[in-house]
Homo-oligomer: A and B are copies of this chain.
């Protein structure tokens, strides 16, 4: 037996905060050592933080990283434990994203990343270049200050593995695992038994299994120990890095860290018998055959042993059942933890939310409530950092601290119902009941006097007064009246957020929370600079359907039972007057249902369809009940409104990133905002197809819908028509 204890971590780093990051790295090493680990793996670019973005172009960022590494190596942190640190390194004139493997105050090897993530939210090729000289390790001259401090002049640099006396280990960094030819394949043939994946992976709904499947796949048939480390938390932007530090042995998950947490440092330890790897590989004829004629990978030999011989002092880690959160839990905990990081790191004193009693703002309120519950629970569990932050934010005195989530919410969370003559008593009541359940400080305000002031001003200026459509006004007047109300609510929200601390003699300021959802963003069903214009938005890339499921879940699991009633109510913006024969409903206003919007969203982004491809795929999906002409009409309607409203995405409030089809313009979904919204070429192509199809294919298309319906919720990456109905698709 060769018994190896390994430690991996979830770290809540903060981009560019080198003190915070260094402190947490040290804490993770201390915990790993305390547990007796021989290896400690940290996440990708952990020293400066993964999310430094264009700061990676600054030499300061590289210099500071070296300074921090020097500090780690001068102290006793790496005594007796192999540590892999993530940081940028400049070799000659090239900047690389590197893992620096250290042991006993020396650097063993610097391993640059070979495949850089450059899709979706990732931009690594903007800041780094990929290492391409895979056949050799070269000598890297350490910067003089480092060299002098640690007494080492040069180290091996490049793609290679480290041979210890009793095993071989190697890095496989984040994106490299997901490439068509991941390094672990040939590394295994070269005798590497332990793979270390330092990652910077952010949360996306329903996607954890993609990651875990990859770790399992890397070791299941070829053997090996796969160690995964990730960031966890908000390090400065829309992304929540969702942890899940794990250890997998021959396809078995033997250790799994949390996916969402308020902790800054979480260390996961596993004790493994490496002989199971050698044993499995020895029994595989194909492995033996391929290993015997392998491409040789460079290596560094280190005269040091990582393993212990057989002993009974500690147990071997056993296979675990993998823990997955339900989508509703992902929606509660991901944004909840993100809000907490944002709150404590921004210096704000709390949140202010315009609460309309509708599904969207109620979802946000529930998420803040969930955050409060998490804080109280974590304090009860003894987390001193959470406690210190909560005391500061909640302005507790005399040794007091939060013990009840409703009491904590009262201090840090304001909800405001901003009613007008168009609001119903029902929604006002729902808002109040929910606020009571969560514990927020609830205000009930009427905006009519301000609306009236604007309208009077306009009438004085122009001699005209706009009317609602229901009262005989034109569409232009009607829309404008709605927009005025919506924007007044935004002005009021920010006014209250900045002045309420003063009113209540509290320090700081409140962050205004927005609450538009991903489907409204996609369609453009929001007023530019209305209440969705806020400081941050926890649900801006979550779909309406997911939010409604979340509300049902939260009514039970968070204890806010009024959410069930809120979820059951039909969605309306409540910006037009209610008359006996007229009631405003979102889906009627938009000309499409939320379900349809999710389908359009997935086809547009996940399956990368333009108008023609979308039409073709939807003919398969909807062909049982719609003619090609009808499908064409719907597709054209979507693309018209998507494109004329795209400009609204350019000023969208930063939202927690969750959904694979988000239209977010700053980082995830890069499109122009000035389209020819008539799409003349594309729509003409669709019309040509409709003419062909209507004539010859209509009789034979009856079975398609049944096929699509049967496959809903199953797979879909291989069949766009089916996948567009599956919220699990995407990466």
Contact = CB atoms under 8 A, between A and B. Distances in A.
A355 to B, nearest CB: 15
A618 to B, nearest CB: 14
Contacts of A458: 495-496, 499
A462 interface: yes
A679 B450 CA distance: 42
Given A237-B674, A342-B674, A454 B492 contact: yes
Interface stretch (A49-57, A164-172, A422-430): A49-57
Interface stretch (A12-20, A289-297, A543-551, A564-572): A12-20
Contact of A533 (B342, B509, B529, B611): B529
A631 to B, nearest CB: 16
Contact of A651 (B51, B496, B653, B682): B653
Contacts of A680: 17, 19
Contacts of A500: 462
Contacts of A677: 347
A634 interface: no
A610 B58 contact: yes
A599 B499 CA distance: 35
A708 to B, nearest CB: 21
A17 B15 CA distance: 40
A55 B610 contact: yes
Given A58-B613, A453-B452, A499 B487 contact: no
B529 A501 contact: no
Contact of A672 (B53, B123, B347, B676): B53
Contact of A671 (B54, B64, B535): B54
Contact of A670 (B19, B503, B667): B667
A515 interface: no
Contacts of A454: 450, 491-492, 495
A433 interface: no
A59 B608 CA distance: 7
Among A14, A347, A608, find the residue whose CB has the most chain B CB atoms closer than 10 A. A608
A643 to B, nearest CB: 9
A449 B443 contact: no
A490 interface: yes
A27 interface: no
A234 interface: yes
A453 B671 CA distance: 40
B20 A676 contact: yes
Contacts of A243: none
Contacts of A608: 54, 57-59
A235 B673 CA distance: 9
A159 interface: no
A124 to B, nearest CB: 10
Given A19-B681, A64-B610, A476 B453 contact: no
A432 to B, nearest CB: 15
Nearest to A67: B685
A456 to B, nearest CB: 7
B528 A494 contact: yes
A644 B67 CA distance: 26
B495 A483 contact: yes
A19 B18 CA distance: 53
Q: Which range contains the number of A residues in contact with the other chain?
A: 35 or more
Interface string A464-487: 101000000010110110011001
Interface string A111-125: 000000011000101
A685 B119 CA distance: 35
A529 B494 contact: yes
Interface string A143-159: 00000000000000000
Contact of A666 (B480, B492, B650): B650
Nearest to A491: B487
A347 B484 CA distance: 22
A303 to B, nearest CB: 36
Contact of A126 (B20, B119, B653): B119
A610 B61 contact: yes
A651 to B, nearest CB: 5
Contacts of A474: 502
B466 A502 contact: yes
Given A55-B610, A64-B610, A445-B457, A533 B533 contact: yes
A466 B450 CA distance: 17
Nearest to A63: B612
A301 B652 CA distance: 53
Contacts of A499: 458, 462, 464, 466, 476-477, 480
A507 to B, nearest CB: 10
A351 to B, nearest CB: 14
A675 interface: yes
A60 interface: yes
A15 B666 CA distance: 19
Given A60-B613, A462-B500, A18 B681 contact: yes
Given A457-B449, A476-B502, A673 B654 contact: yes
B673 A237 contact: yes
A211 interface: no
A670 B118 CA distance: 14
Given A529-B533, A654-B647, A670 B15 contact: no
A403 interface: no
B673 A236 contact: yes
A488 interface: yes
A345 interface: yes
A461 interface: yes
B674 A345 contact: yes
A237 B613 contact: no
B466 A445 contact: no
Contacts of A672: 15-16, 51-53, 235-237
A669 interface: yes
A437 interface: no
Contacts of A654: 647, 650-651, 673
Given A123-B670, A461-B445, A610-B58, A483 B503 contact: no
Interface in A3-48: 14-20
Contacts of A487: 490-491, 494-495
A19 B676 CA distance: 10
Contacts of A347: 644, 677
10 shortest interchain CB distances as A-B pairs: A236-B672, A60-B610, A18-B681, A453-B453, A17-B676, A53-B670, A487-B491, A480-B498, A236-B674, A58-B610
10 contacts: A17-B680, A58-B610, A237-B672, A346-B674, A452-B453, A454-B491, A458-B495, A476-B509, A483-B495, A483-B498
